[in-house]
Structure 1
Amino acid sequence: MSAPTTSLAPVLAPSGVTVRLPRFDDAGRPVGTEVRELNAPGPWTTPAGEITSRVAFAAAHVVPHVGAENVPGAPAVVDWDSTLAYRHRIWEHGLGVADAMDTAQRGMGLDWAATQELVRRSAAEAASVGARIACGAGTDQLDPASVEAGEAGLAAVTEAYREQVRVVQEAGAQVIVMASRALAKVARSAEDYARVYDAVLAEADSPVILHWLGTMFDPALAGYWGSDSVDTATATFLDLIKAHQAKVDGVKVSLLDAQHEIGLRRALAALEGPTVRLYTGDDFNYPELIAGDDQGYSDALLGIFAAIYPAASTALQAFDAGEAGRGHAILASTEKLGRHIFCAPTYFYKTGVAFLSWLNGFQPGFQLVGGLHSGRSLAHLVELARLADGCGMLLEPETAAKRLDALLVTNGVTA
């Protein structure tokens, strides 16, 4: 697909707020200072009605209480007011929320007890405003290291999945069947995966979203679907979908491989029977994948949408209005920010999502459960602020400037 026309990208205006930002060398040492006038927020709009051109979910993060023991291994203590208010902002912009997923730190600080409460609270909030919500059901109440190989292990994984599916369904949310570290550990073949997923999908009372998460997001998922070959794994994945097509609303694919996704999207479109959507999970290539081509497009279930939801909503509204070029251009204007937030090691992208939330005043402190706010360097965070400003995603420039100043002083960098 050709690049969007530059003239269709959002035009940003200066805010009148300046900030001094350090420059860093490759070793992370400050080597100079930039005096930068921040932009005002982009020309973002909220939809008058339901967005119809694409189905789009933002995978939201969790805000902890700032005074809690938010260190590795400690139980998550969630700031429910800030966490749920963030979800309401996403819903107000016409997007659905994908909750209790990897963005919410499943397996990276959010324990099963807190996850259950998150699912119930978020689903209740969604119902109160008639908004769309889907929640992850996995097996993270199990310690993969303690799960035995063989029939006993497969049975334990299956029962863990069933428990979580029941929690999500009873809360009134759509189920997202997440990839399982425990299953990746104990499965010995594609047939093992098929047996577990057959049993899990039998529990579903409405169509689910299947999630294929790549090793760049979670190295423990190597060999998922029974093979390290993406082509072989894809064939197994498609066989599973064909066997349960009426139970599968769509698939979320997070492999950061646009050509693979396009091929899978076309294979799904060729299936006879109920439609199976391709929800892109590609936080690098989402502009072209959502814009699509003459053979179709991807819907979206993205962690980056939790960071850029005002721009994402405005882009989808443009697609609704038949202005595909403008929609693509808006998404493309955020691509550098997305690639930076999700750069390697990709599984620390949650740090960037929370950092932007903090800069915009949506949480009282720059923290994540499990101490994950320490997952990125100061140089990475400062560049993130520059890129967010460059695409109009600093929504309160004065707040962002004050918080950047405080961050720099705290980290020993002064003008």
Structure 2
Amino acid sequence: MTIMQLLMLLGGLLILAGSFIVAWLTGVRRSYLLLLSASFLVLALAFLVTFLFGLYRLTPLLSVANGLFIVAQVLFAEGLLQRRGKTFGVAFNVTAFLVLFGLYSFFQIYGTAFQRTIVINVGLAVVMGLAMLRFWIRRDDTLHDKLIFWTIIALGVMHCLRTAVMLFTGIIADPSSILWQATQIYILMIAMILTIEILASHFVESLDRLNTLRDRDRLTGVLNREGFERAVSGLCGEGSSTPVALTLLDLDNFKLTNDTLGHPVGDAVLMAFGQILLSETRATDVVGRIGGDEFAILSLGLDRQGACAMAERIRIHLAHRRFPEVSDGLEATCSIGVAIARSERGYETLYRMSDNALYGAKRLGRNRVVADGAPSAAAPGEVSRAGA
């Protein structure tokens, strides 16, 4: 390897390592980014030590270089898994390094350079193979995950082909040969492509996370008004006749609770109500806080009976909820209005219908559900309604 080749290789690896560090500094600071960066830095150091071995032919330098190659691969595999939300664990990683380096050291003393090289290549292929088994993509994975997976497979195929050539020919890769240089360039290019894919995925996920934080009400965990309106804008409109249920919910006498017991108590009620809404609705329902103590639920494909049953569950759940952590004997209730219409009529029409139903629930004494202007049937085991 010439000095120019070394500089190009080190430059490429440092750029890759630096890219992950920049991503860690500018986005969500995920640990896998540092692991991938560390793997490229260690790999660059391994090539530098290999170059020094070529100059001075000191056997300890060769041992250090191969040890660094092993560390780089183990860090890379662990980083990929942590990006996936999985891990080999410290014990496995340390054991993998000790076993591979131990085998290398054994063959350095009692074997040949060919045997050492084959052991390292096969051992690292096993580690990456195990990582890919845990990384395995599913049908519902994102395009980024699929691209990353198949790029790693392409990288592994080249690694295995190079090992197979060495195994069947008995010739150790010669850094001065065109074949060795071509494979190194190929591996570096695949590594650069893989880095771009991982970084793109990281920034897309960070953007999605920021959008989620922007649209989420931090106190209750449901969507804020802007997020709710954005979510429902594409669900109600022209060209669709899907039945849509809009449920408006208003905490009863909430201002009085705030004024007499204080805002911390009011916040506790809001937080509990947000949890109740999320627990009693479907995953496909859009739940939002559209005012101080006003909430809304948009449900596609839910008929009047289903929407009223959901509203009754919410009402009863809240009525039975106690708040001993903030105030002994504190109770909270809500009034609920439900409206059903076809989505083609638009959100504003549906909102007016549901708002009229909510007004009817308050006029009839609060702590009740009114659907399309008529009180819903009482659910079995329902608590008594105030003012009924």
State whether TM-score is above 0.5: no
Task: State the TM-score, normalizing by the size of structure 1.
Answer: 0.22
More helix by share: 2
Task: State the TM-score, normalizing by the size of structure 2.
Answer: 0.23
Larger Rg: 2
More strand by share: 1
